[in-house]
Amino acid sequence: MTRTFPDLVDVAIVGSGPCGAAYARILSERCPSATVATFEVGPLLADPPGVHVKNIVDPAARAQAQRLSEGPAPQRDDTPTDTLEGYVDTAPRLVRPGTFLLAAGYQQPGEDGLPSVAMSSNVGGMGAHWTGACPRPGGSERITFLPDLEELLDEGGRLLAVDAHAFDDAPFADEVRKRLSAAFDDGRDDDRRVAPMPLAVVRHDDGRVTWSGADVVFGQATRSNPNFTLVPQALASEVVIDGDRATGVRVRDLRTGDEHVVRARFIVVAADALRTPQLLWASGVRPRALGRYLNDQPQTVFAVRLRDVAHVSEEQVDSRTAPEIVPQSGVSWVPYTDEEPFHGQVMQLDASPVPLADDDVPAPGSIVGLGWFCAKDLQESDRVEFDDTGSDPYGMPAMRIHYRLTERDRASIEASRAAIRRAGEALGDPLDDEPLTFAPGTSLHYQGTVRMGETDDGASVCSPTSRVWGVDGLYVAGNGVIPTAIACNPTLTSVALAVAGARDIATRLDGS
């Protein structure tokens, strides 16, 4: 951590979320003599930098960390910081603790828009707030032009500390998977059958299990690297372009307002799927596909209470107030298939997302929340545009979302609602009458806006190693790089793609 802005580095990284952290980690491991600086628009939340807020032990400090992540206009102090709050909220614009909504431009007349589109600004990015789910893509979710995708996913799993068996002994977890398997597994390939959800978590010697944030991705290799610098509250306002090459980044110190131009041999923009194309646009880097093929995952939720299970003797712990993952936090996975183009995340919640009678105390692990995510029907016309005349609260080009659900999307949403009912019926008794399909944007899994392509054919922004077409030295990272319509949680895939990009930079540094 520093407030000193370097004049010259080998690699400048914009954004400190899991993908930006992956670049820093791979470069620290492969090129420890290279100078690397990461600039983050948001503040430091806690130590180590990038820690997941759920790992902050003190409740007041945890709540403060969430407020600090909420950008230029955080929610009021009296707003809930309970992440289960709003699980069944029918508000047309659902905002979650630690995130902030796009203030304007989220919906155009006659379009569906993304009313709940949101971002986070903090060291660690959305990796400080996520659920840690790291399933692998399957079927048409996979990027077919990457022959080494499996190895990259393995490496992404190493950086994120992915564990598929962290909660095998959670109460009723086996029973949950047994019931789901009976409802869904018939006719599926082995890797598409119901399984424990691979989770980004860290098991400690004392038995605790905590969430992986960007701190885990940074790892000791980055934190102990004397040539690595992390500067929070530093807004990257422009990538400096000289001819057909990126040569530096203009950064504004948000504490003082001072501007610095940091020269760099390579620049990685790893903001998020909205702010990465925004920075490229502000820098005059405007390929046709920039901001296009924007996709969100339509999300439906349901909650049930397991039927016919005995009360367990373990002391109940409310996961909403626990500083780490609790023993009954079982998470199961119903994978995506091309025949059923959605993905199910099944979480044993330990507390009901809907009110129960005062004297009704459920057995730990017996309340199950189901979340089904659909793959989007990709359209070039679904996009984020930028305004050269208007600006957002950071002074960057204002965003305007164009987004429509197609008939195919509506059909897959209805099919996912039927599937989530089927899952609920297999597990137990519903806690509400009908599943709830959230407003577009609620998933926070935005993709495609700086998508990868096999060739520079106008339908992509970057190469298979995340190099921006036509601008030497400039790379992009994050969920926006994913070119396929995936329904599963995207972080493992985007970190895997970041690994390929970081290796490419490392090879170029070694060869210089």
CA distance 237 to 217: 25
127 and 50 in contact (C-beta within 8 Å)? yes
φ/ψ (deg, to 5) at 195: -155, 170
351 and 328 in contact (C-beta within 8 Å)? no
CA distance 489 to 212: 15
φ/ψ (deg, to 5) at 291: 80, -10
- Residue 354 burial by CB count (10 A; 0-12/13-18/19+): exposed, middle or buried? exposed
CA distance 489 to 344: 10
Which CB contacts under 8 angstroms, 24+ apart, belong to 415-419? Answer: 415/340, 415/341, 415/342, 416/298, 416/300, 416/342, 416/372, 416/373, 416/374, 417/300, 417/372, 419/184, 419/334, 419/340, 419/342, 419/344, 419/372
Would residue 343 show up in a list of annotated catalytic residues for this protein? no
Q: Which two tokens stand for residue 282?
A: 């502000």
Query: Among the options 129, 343, 402, 445, which is catalytic?
Result: 445
Q: Which two tokens stand for residue 165?
A: 């068996």
Give 7-41 as a DSSP string.
SEEEEEEE--SHHHHHHHHHHHHH-TTS-EEEE-S
- DSSP class of residue 49 equals T
264 and 35 in contact (C-beta within 8 Å)? no
**Segment holding 406, helix H or strand E:** none
CA distance 112 to 291: 17
CA distance 68 to 309: 41
CA distance 140 to 299: 19
Q: Which two tokens stand for residue 35?
A: 């100078």
Q: Taking each helix axis from N to C terminus, what angle separates 491-510 and 149-160, rounded to the nearest 10 degrees?
A: 100
How far is residue 510 from each of residues 10, 99, 171, 351, measured CA to CA in Å?
12, 39, 50, 52
Q: Which of the residues are catalytic? A: 445
